[in-house]
Amino acid sequence: MIAGTALSFGVLGQETSQLSLAILTCRYLGLPEVAPEAADIILAESPPPPPEPSRAEPWLAWKGLTIHRQGSWLTLAYGAWQVAIDVARRQVTPLALPSDSDLSVAYPCYSYLRLALLFLLRRMGWFELHGGACVQAEQGYVFIGPSGSGKTSAILGLLDAGWRYVSDDALLIKRIPAGSEGDAICVRAGRELFSVTTDELRRFPHLHPHAEPRLQSAEKRAVNPRAIWPGRYEPVAKPAFLFFCQLHDAEQTQVLPLPATDALARLMTSTPWLALDRETAAAHLAIYRQLAESCYSFALLAGRDLLRRPSALATHLSASHLVRLYRAYA
């Protein structure tokens, strides 16, 4: 593990039903549980009481989520659910959550809690990136794009070709001091499990025995990659290549170089939080800019050839070929 990239959570006090979904969400994000005094994020049932939410307009309102802020406290509400975050203490306290036995709300509540944890993580220097990542020959490959653009399929194809993985579709990115070499950009998984569609289960039938519906929307299933590819997990990667994924109605897959300015523009449209979370927007934009400027960037137009043989993607992505392709374009 690269210094400065570890993330963990701890539980202060007794593990209660009120905390159970928050604990499950931290585990689903891939955070190991440690003693609270050593944890990066603390889950607590009964901290010093947070300030009452102000009756004034919320600090942020977006798609049913409302956030009030007082001092170092953020209170995030979604319907009847409420969570308080003490940013200074890195402490998360559920104020009103359903029981973990109510499976009908498990996925929506997980999504809400994940948003709350990401608010805290951004203030700790970790920013979300809607993408997956693989490692080959110690080079980090990051695949970015909206839902349905082929990110998970690309990762699964590369795993079939023997590559190592970080995540299929959810990353956290951070700037890490690297001494005399300056700061380095690192990515780690922002979710422990892979999330696959029914079409991907059809195309990758070896996933079927491992597919389960936990913490997924109705049209997707979760698979544990460590059960399928033991020993192939990379906890952290340093990105060298960025690929902006798109399904292409053509026979052959194409890999087209992109200038850094185009890569940055595409990164900026991949998250709403650059516009919505004003406190962290400058740092968020700076890390995206460094990512775009330090990597070779490409548009990955996935053709029908990858539908027939997903592992063939690896033949397009050798590091030496990509560097030559980019330099010829530049």
Give per-residue pLDDT as tens, 1-28.
Answer: 676 788 999 999 888 878 888 998 999 8
Structure-token pair, residue 256: 């087209």
Structure-token pair, residue 98: 């359903």
* Predicted local confidence at residue 81, as pLDDT: 93
Residue with tokens 């980019």: 326
Q: How confident is the model over 27-69, as pLDDT tens digits?
A: 989 999 999 999 999 999 875 555 565 556 799 999 999 999 9
Structure-token pair, residue 18: 């009120």
Q: How confident is the model over 238-294, as pLDDT tens digits?
A: 999 999 999 999 999 999 999 999 999 999 999 999 999 999 999 999 999 999 999
Tell me how far CA of residue 11 lies from CA of 50, 82, 178, 190, 285, in angstroms. 18, 18, 32, 20, 32
Which residue(s) pair with 60 in the sheet? 67
Q: Are 9 and 40 in contact (CB under 8 A)?
A: yes
Say how many CA atoms lie within 13 Å of 104 toward its Cβ: 0
Query: Radius of gyration of the chain from Cα atoms?
Result: 20
End-to-end CA distance of the chain: 34
Angle between helices 106-122 and 17-28 (to 10 degrees): 70
Closest to 151 (Cα-Cα) out of 159, 162, 143 = 143
Q: How confident is the model over 73-115, as pLDDT tens digits?
A: 999 999 999 999 999 999 999 988 887 656 567 788 889 999 9
Interior/surface letters 198-211, b for 16+ CB within 10 angstroms, e for the rest: eebbebbeebeebb
Domain ranges of the chain: 9-124, 128-329
What integer is the mean pLDDT of 316-327?
96
The Cα–Cα gap between 29 and 201 comes to: 22
Q: Does domain 128-329 have CATH number 2.60.40?
A: no
Closest to 31 (Cα-Cα) out of 145, 138, 121 = 121
Residue with tokens 């548009």: 299
User: Residue 262 phi/psi, 5° resolution?
Assistant: -65, -40
